[in-house]
Amino acid sequence: MKTENMNMKTMRVANTGNQRNLAALAFSAVYATLSACSSMPANNAALDQARNRFNVAQNNPDVASMAADELKQAGDSLRIADKALADGATISTVDHLAYMTSQRVAIAQETAAAKSAQAVTAGAAAERDRMRLASRTSEVNAAQRQLAVSQQNNAITKAELANADAAAVTTANATALREQANASANALRDQANANRVNDLEMQLKDLNAKKTDRGIVVTLGDVLFDSGQAKLLPDGNRNMVKLAEVFRNNPRRNAIIDGYTDSVGSANANYTLSERRAEAVMTALINLGVSAGQLTMKAHGEEQPVADNTTSAGRQMNRRVEIVFTP
C-alpha cells in the first residue's frame, strides 16, 4: 500500500513537470510568432509608387529594348530600396531611395523616346519622291526637335537626380550640390526656351517677324485686303500658307490675331472692319490645317496706331493685322 501511494505521488510530480514544459513551449511559440510579425516590413507608399512606375516601364517593349541599361539601373535602385525597407530603415531613407528609383525610371523612358525619335530621323533618308520627301522632311524636323527636347529633359532630370543624391551627404555639401544642380537645370531650361524662340524666328524670317515684349509679331499690311473689305487677296493667301506651315510645325505654339484700322470713318465701323479682317485671317489659317485651339482673335479698330493718321503713308501702316506668337 505504501509503495502504491509513492508511485501515485511520483506520477503527479511528473505530470506537473510536463505541464510546465508544455506551457513554456507554448509561450516560446507565441513569442516567436510575435517577433516574426514585428520584424515584417510595413508598406511604403512612395516605394509602391516607384515599383508601379518601374513595372510600367519594364512592360513597355520600347523602353525594354532601347533603354536596357537605364532600366537595369532603375531595377537595381528598386532592389536597394526594397532591402532598406526590409532591414527597417527610416521612412525618410526609404522615401529617398524610392524617389531615386522613380527618377531612374523617368531617365529610361526619356532615353527610349529619344532613341525612337532618332530612328524616325534615320528612316527619312529612304524617301525619294519630292512631295513625299518634303512631307518626311517636316516629320524629321519635328523628330529632331523632339529629340532635342527629350535630351534636354533627360539632362534636367539627371541634374535634379544629382540634386536629390546630395541629400545623402552632409548638410553643408548637400546645400552646395543642390545650388549647383538647380543652376544647371535653370541654365538648361533657359537654353531650351532660347532655342525654341530662335527656331520660331528662323521659320518666320520670310514674313519679316519682329521680337517684341508681347512675343514674336508678324505684321500683315492692308495689301491683304481691298479698301474697306475683309476678303483676302491672292498675295494674302500666299502669306497664309507660310503662316499655316509654321503653326503645323509648332503645334504647341499659340498666337493672337489682332485686327487694326486707320482713323478714317466712324469708330464703330472701324472696329467692325478690324474684327472681320482678323476673322478672315483666322478662318484662312484653320482652312489650311491649323488647329483652332492655337488661335485667338481680337479687334482693336483705330486704337493703338503705329503711325500718324494724318498722312496717307501713316494710314496705310495703321491698316494692318498682327499675328502675335505669345511667349
Question: What is the domain-level CATH number for residue 314?
Answer: 3.30.1330.60
Here the cell at position 226 is 481691298
pLDDT at 187: 64
Q: Which amino acid is at 159?
A: A
CA distance 200 to 209: 10
Question: Tens place of pLDDT for every residue, the chain, 327 residues?
Answer: 545 555 555 555 445 555 555 444 444 443 343 344 444 456 899 999 999 999 999 999 999 999 999 999 999 999 999 999 999 999 999 999 999 999 999 999 999 999 989 988 888 667 777 878 777 777 888 888 888 888 888 888 888 888 777 666 655 675 766 777 677 666 666 565 555 556 677 778 778 889 988 899 998 876 677 767 888 777 777 888 989 999 999 999 999 999 999 999 899 999 999 999 999 999 999 999 999 999 999 999 999 999 999 999 999 888 889 999 987
Same-domain status, 233 and 313 = yes
**What per-residue confidence (pLDDT) applies to 173?**
73
Task: Give me the number of domains the chain comprises.
Answer: 2
With beta carbons less than 8 A apart as the criterion, state whether 82 and 112 touch. no
Is the domain of 240 the same as that of 195?
A: no
Same domain, 182 and 216: no
C-alpha cell belonging to residue 93: 531613407
List the one residue out of 238, 249, 320 whose CA is nearest residue 291: 249
Least Cα distance to 203 among 244, 255, 162 occurs for 244
pLDDT given for residue 152 in this prediction? 86
- State whether 57 and 190 are in the same domain: yes
CA–CA dist 231, 196 (Å, integer): 33
Distance CA 192, CA 194 (A): 5
List, as one string, the DSSP characters of 155-180. HHHHHHHHHHHGGGS-HHHHHHHHHH
Domain check: are 186 and 75 in the same one? yes
135 and 239 housed in the same domain: no
Find the angle CA(151)-CA(152)-CA(157) to the nearest 5 degrees: 95
CA distance 144 to 114: 9
Residues 170 and 300 in one domain: no
Task: Kindly state whether residues 82 and 177 are assigned to the same domain.
Answer: yes
Cell numbers given for 185 = 537645370
For residue 57, which of 48, 67, 47 has the smallest C-alpha distance?
Answer: 67
Q: Tell me which residue range forms the domain holding 226.
A: 208-325
Q: Is 316 exposed, middle or buried (0-12, 13-18, 19+ CB in 10 A)?
A: middle
Cell of 100: 531615386
